[in-house]
Structure 1
């Protein structure tokens, strides 16, 4: 993700633990309100307890888990009332990120975006693989901004938005269409068309909020 979390040794283990636990929380494999035990998670992931505890601290800062004295640590509830607040942030920052990615992505990042564009065309139109790909696409664009602060902020808000999405996924008929909207966006970034990338990102966020509000 960022230079601060991509170090060697213990930092790498903490980042791996963060990614593994975060994905489970975001996709609701760890259900809202479910308790988390650092010793059990460490055993499941094959890590020591220290990197897991570091990951849990980061996840608490990102509002994916919450700890209570003498009660333990739990996955946070998905608060639908937060949808508007999350969307306000994303409506400003997602278009900015798309434009910056179009302007700043280096050759290796454009190659990765091209690979993801091909993968998107080959991915089935349903299932957890599609959700994971959606998250991967967003993170590739965020990384291409070459702004670690913007990247970290957007990962955090995309995680919160994806949890809301996963909560209603059985009632959202347009999952495949929502994810495949990234095709033109990726192409605009690859082609260095910042204005088009920005407009497509704005429309994507607006469409996401509208789809959720239609089923709540």
Structure 2
């Protein structure tokens, strides 16, 4: 018979893994608005659709509440948070300080192998045809670029903070994406940022990241 302590450790490890899977999957649905803003969250339905037990799903929802992607009300249940355009200024205020910091640190600290991967990512994105890509594909690439830069910065606390606020910004982006013109410029900025980091050009990377955040806010405000 397996010792109780070992069995418990394996169970906890399994539960954590399932909770992480549930967290990532539900987070993606919330960011991409597949779960619409203000929609009720049915943990049983999520459990069945994801093939994951209700306990890991509930654990994931607790984490997502901390991320401000869901909100729970006593006796009412859990809901996707609304997308409030007034939050754009608050989110941008944080990102305009931290995105350039992450880009600069990534350019200064990333190792050779990671720089090569960022350069390859830039090549791939540059070869993509933006006009034929779906909203989901565009946003997935956007998330991948930003998260790659955050990871390359080498500061897990900075990474966690930026992932959280970029997720909130992406929800706003998804609401207005079909009305945004010149999305190709947004993609070009991604390519430039990745190449600056890959080449170790810290000041250039910092500037591109700052302009990227301020440009995003201006683009959204121009259509509301």
Length-normalised TM-score, structure 1:
0.92
Match of 1:190 in 2: 198
Contact 1:25–1:64 at 8 Å: present in 2 too? yes
CA spacing shift, 1:12–1:176, aligned 2, 3 Å: farther
Structure 2 CA distance for aligned equivalents of residues 8 and 116 of structure 1? 32
Contact 1:27–1:166 at 8 Å: present in 2 too? yes
Structure 2 CA distance for aligned equivalents of residues 199 and 8 of structure 1? 42
What is the CA distance between 1:16 and its match in structure 2? 1.8
Match of 1:73 in 2: 78
Q: 2:165 aligns with which of 157, 160, 171?
A: 157
The answer to whether residue 30 in structure 2 is matched with residue 25 in structure 1 is yes
Structure 2 CA distance for aligned equivalents of residues 29 and 84 of structure 1? 24
- Whichever structure has more helix as a proportion of its residues is 2
Aligned positions, number:
210
- Structure 1 portions without partners, runs of 5+: 1-6
What is the CA distance between 1:23 and its match in structure 2? 1.2
What is the CA distance between 1:114 and its match in structure 2? 2.2
Length-normalised TM-score, structure 2:
0.89
Contact 1:91–1:206 at 8 Å: present in 2 too? yes
> Which string of whole-angstrom CA distances, capped at 9 and with x for unpartnered residues, describes residues 149-177 of structure 1?
10000001001111111111121112232
Q: 2:90 aligns with which of 78, 82, 85?
A: 85
SS of residue matched to 2:86: helix
What is the CA distance between 1:55 and its match in structure 2? 1.2
> Which string of whole-angstrom CA distances, capped at 9 and with x for unpartnered residues, describes residues 101-159 of structure 1?
11111233223212311221232314221110000110010011111110000001001
Structure of larger gyration radius? 2
